[in-house]
Amino acid sequence: MTIGSAGPRSRALFRRAERVLVGGVDSPVRSFTAVGGTPVFFAGGRGAYLDDVDGRRYLDLVGSWGANLLGNAPRAVVEAVRRTALRGLSFGAPSPLEHELAERIRSAIPEMERLRFVSSGTEATMSAVRLARGFTGRPKVVKFAGGYHGHSDGLLASAGSGPATASLPDSAGVPVGIVRDTLVVPYNDLDALTACFERRSEEIAAVLVEPVAGNMGVVPPAPGFLRGLGRVARRYGALVLADEVITGFRLRRGAAISSLGGRADLVTLGKVIGGGLPIGAYGGRREILEHLAPLGDVYQAGTLSGHPLAMAAGAAMLDELRAARYLRLERTSQELAHRLESMATEEGATPFRIQRVGSMLGLFFTDGPVTDEASARRVDRGRYARFFHAALRGGVALPPSPLETTFVSMAITARDINRAVPAFRRAFRASRKGSA
């Protein structure tokens, strides 16, 4: 196993971090447990590139897990943060920056008639579920297997091997009693969803869905899936909660679900809308949102919610997201996907397939299409690990897990892709070795 891709400084820093931080990291996806080896420590980044503490440079295809749509340290965002910081870091009281960002979001996502800011995507989704329950007076929610909606107790559930109604905690420390109210059905499976509603129609408050699943690689919704899901939910009086923490403002200037044939009652956002700072937001129809305190009886609060720096960064980010940039991003992403597919074939590194929706790429070492969690589980993890490490040694930073999304940023150009070709070729060759 070739796992020595981190430089000596990274390795030393990791040993030191491990002595005080659990596993040396603050989020398990940053550890290299899925690919082996030790994580690279970064010193900085600019545009399409990241610089590590050993002086090596990488093409950044992680983009802070999708947050950095404009690339690293975009000038307009950094300037907005600097200007805002000089006037005070936090007030715990209203500032105009909050409604200024909210107005920008609502003009792009009209379904969000009212919204509220929080500090992470986890908080947004957890709070939106509470609101859906408070609004409908119903206890249960439906999610799809392989969908990730943050780490709140009730949403860390996956389906057992039994019927869709038997969900199991995905983590120790989550009581079975809590995930009993989370029903899990396979992604892209309207029949299973319908069956679930037929059994539990009066109890289901909401269906949670990633309009494009981005946490089991990239899995697009099957034609008609989002529309059908909405029909089923509404027939039984349940809300549709579109978790757009990844897709919001990434696939277009707004929410993805409406351009994919669906309609949301509640939308959650995060990642891109914070311009690289911690943020989350949830919103929807006014009559639903007005169930939140202080107007209603669903409680949700946050000391640092609507944080001035995140608001300023988010507004500066959204102001940069013009239509022409999305068009260019689409071309770059398509170019990267085509090049990767042909290199994989030329280097004999097959089976390999890319599932791409806009700037979200799922790189799968598997032969069949990935349509749900069961097919995502069939990817060859060993081949991805070898591909990942060889790419890293060649100066390309990919997500350190075969089931995460590869993100293209607006800072990446065709020239950057050209420059990465030799590294990708070596990575595809490395992926072959020792594979069955």
- Please identify every residue annotated as catalytic: 148, 243, 271
Stretch that binds ligand PLP, among 116-124, 233-241, 358-366, 370-378 (CB under 6 A): 116-124
- Binding residue for ligand PLP (CB under 6 A) from 5, 38, 125, 375? 125
- Binding residue for ligand PLP (CB under 6 A) from 37, 39, 121, 275? 121
Residue 250, interface with ligand PLP (CB under 6 A)? Answer: no
CA distance 76 to 70: 10
Cβ-closest residue to ligand PLP? 121
Stretch that binds ligand PLP, among 114-122, 220-228, 234-242, 383-391 (CB under 6 A): 114-122
Tell me whether residue 48 or residue 209 sits nearer to ligand PLP (CB atom). Answer: 209
Size of the site for ligand PLP (CB under 6 A): 15
By CB under 6 A, what part of segment 137-176 binds ligand PLP? 148-150
Half-sphere exposure for 324 (CA within 13 Å, toward CB): 2
Minimum CB separation of residue 123 from ligand PLP in Å reads 7
Nearest one of 198, 178, 196, 171 to 186, comparing CA atoms:
196
- Amino acid occupying residue 177: G
Where b means 16+ CB within 10 Å and e means fewer, 372-386 reads bbebbeebbebbbbb
Minimum CB separation of residue 133 from ligand PLP in Å reads 18
Q: Are 70 and 320 in contact (CB under 8 A)?
A: yes
Q: Are 282 and 131 in contact (CB under 8 A)?
A: yes
Respond yes or no on whether the N-terminal peptide bond of residue 351 is cis (omega within 30° of 0): yes
Residue with tokens 């590869």: 406
Minimum CB separation of residue 244 from ligand PLP in Å reads 8
CB count, 10 Å around CB of 5? 21
Where b means 16+ CB within 10 Å and e means fewer, 249-276 reads bbbbbbbbbbebbbbbbbbbbbbbbbbb
Residue 215, interface with ligand PLP (CB under 6 A)? Answer: yes
CA distance 279 to 326: 22
Tell me whether residue 56 or residue 116 sits nearer to ligand PLP (CB atom). Answer: 116
Tell me whether residue 259 or residue 342 sits nearer to ligand PLP (CB atom). Answer: 259
Residue 357, interface with ligand PLP (CB under 6 A)? Answer: no
Which residues here bind ligand PLP, judged by CB under 6 A? 120-122, 125, 148-150, 210, 214-215, 243, 245-246, 270, 280
